[in-house]
Amino acid sequence: MSAAVIARGTAASRIAAIAVAAIISLLALAPQFLSAGAVDRMTALFIYVILAAMWNALAGFGGLVSVGQQVFFGLGAYFTIRLANAGLNPFVSLFVSAVVVGAVSWPISLFMLRLKNGEFAIGMWVIAALTHLLVNLDRLVQGETGTSLISLNVYDASTRRLTIYWLALASMAALLAVLFGLLRGSTGAAIRAIRDNEDAAASVGVRVTGTKRLLFVLAAFGIGVAGALWLATAITFQPKTYFNVQWTAYMIFMVLVGGIGTFEGAILGALLFFLIETWFGGAGVWYLIGLGATALVFSLLLPRGLWGTLEERFGWRLLSVGYRVRLPGIAENPAGAIAAPAQSATSREKA
Amino acid sequence: MNASPNGAILSAAGIHKRFGALVVLDDVDFAMGADEAVGIVGPNGAGKTTLLSVLSGAYPPSAGTIAFKGGDVTALPATQRCRLGLVRTHQVPKPFGGMTAFENVFVAASHGAGLGRDEAYEEALASLKLCGMLGVANRRAETLGLLDRKRLELARALAAKPTLLLLDEIGGGLTDGEAGELVETIRELRRRQIGIVWIEHIVHILLQVAERLICMDAGRIIADGDPQAVMADPQVIGAYLGGGPK
């Protein structure tokens, strides 16, 4: 047998793992040094990261492009309202709600996963619109008048702000960890195989439908957490705000700009989106035009997104879920090929 | 219904496949032993690839039954048949384009063969090595040329640890040297007691491996037996040249 070794990480990725742990610890301490407004903004950032990571897992890794993920965002908020109204502690409600969202997504997956590509994408939008209408029928919600998570009012503003900040940070860290573990394992390889060719995946023993369902439900749960957390920061619940397709548009923007199909890309995209919103969010309609133009420029010039481009050009792999074969005595070039002629040609081109 | 003769690992009985009004397989009976190497030839449109797809579970037959290892697998999807050891390659390679060659093969080893992580690594590397693909193990499959894609098809199917391998035109477009390597690889599989069904247009390659030859035409098996005898069969010659005796 060859003495080839399978490498999962690089020196850079081990440093990255430590850096991620350090950043999360620092973020946990950060509220002591931040203004109330900044704490709220950071909470929003954590929610954006969750949204981007979940949409990226679904579309970038699993090939399940959906433009209806706002359905789970809205339901996350809606079930929180319902559970809190039934007397459950509002903070506990946030997470029980997300579990309910995951449970609801399972029967939805039974028929939605039969659809392919564009049909699935638009079908999810239809599901979102339909769910929006159903939620409007609930008397508690009072149609588009909406309602509030009033039971949060028993906590003073500062406690509330900090608790939600920490819950959002913890949720983000936990969901990223779960996602990374899943995508890095053999199930992750199956997920990517299904994305690339479903028939071929089935022909080599991958359980296609079950694997897609797992990913779909996990993404629904994660986006449910995000919706519930958003409600906790905003307090008010108006269905049209939460079931708005703009949420999925933001997810797509973050993932496309950051780098679809790379774990780092979604996080980077969320950070960029957050900065753009922070700096230009006040510019009204021009802000939206700017977002659209940015997305357009990226999809035309950098279709792999920022991280995807950097990864390809410099061989950067920080939170990589891939596998590298190391053969003894053969040096690897940055693009990851083992001294293959075609690749060295491209390297020359770039040099 | 169980038409499998004693000792047959794979048997198909009364297989029909229709796509709308088009009859692609018309009452095909086929059985083979675990240690056989069967070649399938026939003109384009004879139904060879469709037969392979029906045997592998890519789609169900319109009528008929398929048994593998003594059990009826007619209703089993491709995933399950692969896990039982019945694995195919695709005529037009279907690589997982965004994944490296190694990852392509690793998926088959961990899901198809059901191996744990380290064993799956070993199996994947061994399959790549056997097919001469170690040098491009880290290349994304979409960057590979046709020859390497065909090799990858074979390597990936092998990593699923088949007991019976269904090959669909993996020799097409090869130079003589490349074809020689391919024949060596297939012979190595024979030494490992892997049964082979191989569809191939390049008959002289096929005959270096096949101990039995089947010729299909218009959705039917028109000849089956010793390769030289089949090639000399007037019906077979007629099918290729047209207008022969029916």
Domains of chain B: 1-85+164-173+198-246 (3.40.50.300), 89-161 (no CATH)
CB contact under 8 A, A192 and B110: no
pLDDT of residue B132: 92
Q: What average pLDDT does this structure show over B105-124?
A: 96
More confident position, B141 or A4: B141
Which tokens go with A321?
């879920």
* pLDDT tens string B52-78: 999 999 999 999 999 999 999 999 999
Residue A23 lies in a domain: no
Look over chain A and give the mean of its residue pLDDT values, rounded to a whole number.
90
- What residues pair up with A236 in beta bridges, in sequence order? A148
Residue A198 maps to which CATH number?
1.10.3470
Q: What is the pLDDT of residues B14-60, one digit of tens each?
A: 999 999 999 999 999 999 999 899 999 999 889 999 999 999 999 99
On the question of pLDDT at A110 being above 50, the answer is: yes
Q: In the prediction, which pLDDT does A3 show?
A: 74
Q: What mean pLDDT do residues A141-169 have?
A: 91
CB-CB contact of A250 with A69 (8 Å): no
* pLDDT band at residue A330 under the 50/70/90 scheme: low
Residue A198 in contact with partner chain B when CB distance is under 8 A: no
pLDDT digits (tens, 9 = 90+) for B127-172: 999 999 999 999 999 999 988 999 999 999 999 999 999 999 988 8
User: Which residues make Cβ contacts (< 8 Å) with residue B95, sequence separation at least 6?
Assistant: A196, A197, A200, B104, B141, B142, B144, B149, B152, B153, B156
The count of other CB atoms within 10 Å of the CB of residue A125 is 17
- pLDDT, tens only, B189-201: 999 999 999 999 8
Residue A332 has a pLDDT of: 52
Q: Residue range B82-86: average pLDDT?
A: 96
Percentage of chain A beyond pLDDT 90 is: 71
Position A293 in a domain: no
Between residues A348 and A53, the one the model is more confident about: A53
Q: Which residue of B has its CA nearest to A322?
A: B103
Asked if the C-beta of A331 comes within 8 angstroms of chain B's C-beta atoms, the answer is no
Shortest CA distance to B159 belongs to which of B119, B105, B198, B196? B105
In-domain check, residue A341: no
Taking CA atoms, B134 is separated from A216, A333, A350, B112, B126, in Å, by 34, 15, 25, 20, 9
pLDDT tens, position by position, A156-168: 999 999 999 999 9
Contacts of A196 in chain B (CB under 8 A): 95-99, 141
- Pairing of β B71-72 and β B63-68: antiparallel
- Residue-level pLDDT at B244: 47
Distance to chain B for A2, nearest Cα, Å:
8
* A181-201: pLDDT as tens digits: 999 999 999 999 999 999 999
> Is position A180 within any domain?
yes
**Inter-chain residue contact B96 with A186, CB threshold 8 Å:** no
pLDDT for A201-225, tens place per residue? 999 999 999 999 999 999 999 999 9
Cα–Cα dist A56/A64, whole Å = 9
Residues of B with CB below 8 A from A4's CB? Answer: 125, 134, 137
Domain of A85? Answer: 33-286
In a domain, A336, yes or no: no
| Contact call for residues B104 and A198 (beta carbons, < 8 A) | no
Task: Sort strands B8-19 and B86-88 into parallel, antiparallel or unpaired.
Answer: unpaired
- Among A4, A205, A340, select the one facing B139 at the smallest CB separation: A340
The predicted pLDDT at position B27 comes to 94
Number of domains into which chain A is organized: 1
Q: Which helix (H) or strand (E) holds A147?
A: strand A147-148
Q: What is the pLDDT of residue B2?
A: 40
DSSP 3-state assignment of A268?
Answer: helix
- Could you read off the pLDDT of A221-255 as tens digits, one per residue? 999 999 999 999 999 999 999 999 999 999 999 99
Residues in chain A: 351
Interatomic CA distance for residues A220 and A99, integer angstroms: 9
Picking from B96, B152, B159, the residue whose alpha carbon sits closest to that of residue B126 is: B159
With respect to residue A10, please indicate whether it lies within any of the assigned structural domains.
no
In B, minimum Cα distance to A196 occurs at: B96
Alpha helices in B131-233 (DSSP H): 146-159, 176-191, 203-206, 227-232
Round the average pLDDT of chain B to a whole number and report it.
91
The predicted model scores a pTM of 0.90
- Which residues does A293 contact at the CB level (< 8 Å), separation at least 6? none
In a domain, A246, yes or no: yes
The complex scores an ipTM of 0.91
Q: Is position A138 within any domain?
A: yes
Q: Distance between alpha carbon A268 and the CA centroid of its chain, in Å? A: 11
